[in-house]
């Protein structure tokens, strides 16, 4: 079964309009999918949800910080007008703007002249900002030649543009997703510095684990499958697609239907 429960559009830090993303999903033969923009839900307003039926699952990716780890929590199946989640996403968007302003100040002070306005110009008006927008502004200003180069040299920990994130606690994100009627899943666990966080969040109500992810090795997939079974977590999968230039594998993940049964049951 080809699915993709982790994709992004230009309403956060992706580069595709929702309709463009949908065309890619169609071309790949993706049977069920979710758009999980960072701290934003606006992409869904650009789609005809009625015509998509249960093929599309409402989703979001909430950035959180825990024990010096940047932890991303995916939420699925909640109402788009959730009065519980909307204020959370707005707070995170404000934190993103604050962080990017500091990045611009630090980079300029280090000799890489880039303004907040330059960075905002790389995003869709009103959408949450992130490091990819900073990287694109740096490219446009001639300070680096690629997003990967910007991340490796200027925006990494210890680099002149690095600003630690201070998002909400992932335990709060899990709680709020569940209070909104949604399903809380930990994104790309292979990117965590400390796998013990998985068990800790499972004890706090986490319901799922993104086992199937493009950069997870076969050994990691096996380990996360075992952790999901141990902690009673359902399994999901997604490409984390942002842009074809940087996501060479494109959209879609092949996952055995039996591995997704628990996820679909939670969604009802």
Which two tokens mark 244? 């074809």
pLDDT at position 61 is 97
Q: How many CB atoms lie within 10 A of CB 164?
A: 10
CATH superfamily of 2-89+166-267: Metal-dependent hydrolases (3.20.20.140)
pLDDT at position 44 is 96
How many degrees, rounded to 5, is the angle at CA 20 between CA 14 and CA 25?
95
pLDDT digits (tens, 9 = 90+) for 180-201: 999 999 999 999 999 999 999 9
pLDDT digits (tens, 9 = 90+) for 89-128: 988 889 999 999 999 999 999 999 999 999 999 998 888 8
Q: CA torsion 82→88→91→95, rounded to 10°?
A: -130
pLDDT at position 248 is 82
Note the residue count of the chain. Answer: 268
Judged by phi (left if over 0) then psi (alpha if -120 to 50, else beta), residue 163 lies in beta
pLDDT at position 261 is 98
The reply to whether the predicted model has a pTM over 0.85 is yes
pLDDT above 90 (res 68) = no
- Give the mean pLDDT of 42-49: 94
pLDDT at position 232 is 98
Q: Chain-wide mean pLDDT for the chain? A: 95
pLDDT digits (tens, 9 = 90+) for 229-256: 999 999 999 999 998 877 889 999 999 9
DSSP state, 38? B
Q: How many CB atoms lie within 10 A of CB 94?
A: 12
CATH match for 99-153 among 1.10.150.650, 2.60.40.10, 3.30.70.20, 2.70.150.10? 1.10.150.650
Confidence of residue 80 (pLDDT cuts 50, 70, 90): very high
- What contacts 102, CB < 8 A, 6 or more positions away? 163
Domains in the chain: boundaries = 2-89+166-267, 99-153
DSSP state, 63? E
CA distances from 68 to 104, 110, 239, 256 (A): 22, 25, 25, 34
Task: At 166, give phi and psi (nearest 5°).
Answer: -135, 55
Q: What is the DSSP string of 218-251?
A: HHHHHHHHHHHHHHT-EEEE---B--TTT-TT-S
pLDDT above 90 (res 67) = no
**Cβ atoms 176, 150 nearer than 8 A:** no
pLDDT at position 165 is 82
pLDDT at position 246 is 76
pLDDT at position 127 is 85
pLDDT at position 167 is 85
Domains 2-89+166-267 and 99-153 equal at CATH topology level: no
């Amino acid at each position: 079964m080809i699915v993709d429960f982790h994709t992004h559009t230009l309403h956060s830090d992706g580069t595709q309009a929702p309709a463009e993303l949908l065309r890619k999903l169609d071309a790949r033969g993706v049977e069920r999918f979710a758009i999980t923009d960072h701290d934003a839900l606006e992409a869904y307003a650009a789609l005809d949800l009625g015509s998509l039926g249960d093929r599309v699952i409402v989703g979001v990716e909430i950035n959180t910080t825990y024990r010096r780890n940047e932890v991303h929590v995916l939420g699925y199946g909640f109402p788009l007008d959730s009065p519980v989640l909307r204020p959370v996403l707005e707070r995170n968007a404000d934190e993103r703007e604050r962080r990017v302003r500091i990045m611009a100040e630090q980079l300029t002070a280090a000799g890489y002249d880039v303004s907040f306005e330059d960075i905002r110009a790389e995003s869709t008006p009103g959408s949450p900002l992130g490091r990819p927008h900073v990287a694109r502004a740096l490219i446009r200003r001639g300070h680096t030649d690629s997003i990967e180069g910007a991340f490796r040299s200027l925006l990494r920990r210890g680099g002149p543009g690095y600003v630690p994130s201070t998002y909400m606690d992932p335990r709060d994100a899990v709680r709020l997703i569940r209070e909104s009627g949604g399903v809380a899943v930990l994104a790309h666990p292979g990117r965590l510095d400390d796998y013990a966080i998985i068990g800790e969040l499972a004890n706090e109500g986490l319901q799922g684990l993104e086992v199937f992810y493009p950069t997870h090795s076969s050994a990691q997939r096996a380990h996360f499958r075992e952790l999901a079974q141990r902690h009673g977590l359902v399994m999901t999968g997604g490409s984390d697609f942002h842009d074809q230039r940087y996501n060479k594998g494109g959209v879609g993940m092949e996952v055995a239907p039996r591995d997704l049964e628990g996820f679909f049951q939670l969604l009802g």
